[in-house]
Copies of this chain bind each other. A is one copy, B any other.
């Protein structure tokens, strides 16, 4: 089992699911974790997951980050792939479970294909993981429900604050993650109470809708003519009509050629202050969005566990080259089951928000979106506190003795 890409608040829940399920089968003699994704496999950095305490494995269900470590390393050379197989062979590893986004599923697929070519019996099952919710062939991705529960909670809390400020005309801008798709920004719309369409967030700007500064000005003015403040949620990947990321003008370049200063949030603040003469404030939650353990969705956490269990069940039953998917049943209330899809399909696709889930105004989400997203944030997970702060699990990481010579990945 290994983890890859950016962590989510529930990626460790999938590890717990894999470990608990794997213990049920006699044919699985050892359960190893690869440290820092494929990097750890290349380096033969393996730990004994079966040796971890039950408390630690249970604690993974509320521990953010990737407990096994993660990486953004992409296997490139043939020798990298061959090394992975060599490590698997040395330790008689016959099942490989990889939690990650589409790049990781691509890696898993290539490893599996090489094993088949070489006649090494290996079953490879991917486990979906991304706060971005952009994997194809699955109704949604473990990690997404928790990040939008977190953002919506912040919107609700901040709304109480903004509402209480006496002298009106304040614009509040929240920049959230989502470089290529607006799923996270869209999820903020869940903060609106039932039958309260005028609740914040008043305006949502998504990467899916090309940004028009003139329309933006009119949008903000319309909100401020009716409300005491205007709360805006913007995805960091906002693009202009030419398809370029927007950025604050004064952040163009500094003496060293850096141009990252001032992302989408700062850009919108500048527009508000210069074209409308209204005070604006920004918040940019950064990494805290994907590590918000104290705002995890129980539904999301449970489904992450279930995805891990389903991966093991599939492998045991002889399946390989698949990723576990989440399937929403057609029942009256929300029921989620698992399915399987080809790794190859996931590796090459990106799922965008359906166009008709964005209202015609381009700044709010339709009823269909809310119906889709609302079940994903239901339920809370209790995190243990000690001395006033949450305490998280950490693994003891008993190392598996190395059997091969060192390998130097590039």
Contacts and interface: CB of A to CB of B under 8 A. Distances in A.
A335 interface: no
A284 B283 contact: yes
A251 interface: yes
A164 B284 contact: no
Contacts of A283: 284-288
A152 B389 contact: yes
B64 A160 contact: yes
Contacts of A258: 250, 270, 273-274
Nearest to A259: B250
A252 B254 CA distance: 10
Residue among A65, A159, A286 with the most chain B CB within 10 A? A286
A102 to B, nearest CB: 19
Contacts of A69: 164-166
Q: Size class of A's contact patch? A: 35 or more
B291 A274 contact: no
Interface in A240-282: 248-256, 258, 260-262, 266, 270, 273-274, 281-282
Interface stretch (A49-57, A111-119, A315-323, A373-381): A373-381
A37 interface: yes
Contacts of A64: 157, 160-161
A388 interface: yes
A70 to B, nearest CB: 5
Nearest to A152: B389
A162 interface: yes
Interface stretch (A22-30, A292-300, A346-354): A292-300
Interface of A is mostly: mixed
A252 B250 contact: yes
A282 B284 contact: yes
A294 B157 contact: yes
22 contacts: A36-B166, A40-B166, A64-B161, A65-B159, A65-B164, A67-B164, A70-B165, A73-B167, A154-B288, A156-B392, A157-B288, A157-B291, A157-B294, A158-B288, A161-B287, A190-B389, A194-B387, A248-B261, A258-B273, A261-B266, A281-B286, A294-B294
Given A68-B164, A250-B258, A251-B262, 20 more contacts: A36-B166, A39-B166, A40-B166, A69-B165, A153-B389, A157-B288, A157-B390, A190-B389, A249-B254, A250-B251, A255-B274, A256-B273, A261-B266, A261-B270, A282-B286, A284-B284, A284-B286, A378-B387, A378-B388, A380-B385
Interface of A: 3, 7, 35-37, 39-40, 63-73, 149, 152-154, 156-167, 172, 174, 190-191, 194, 248-256, 258, 260-262, 266, 270, 273-274, 281-288, 290-295, 297, 374, 377-380, 385, 387-390, 392
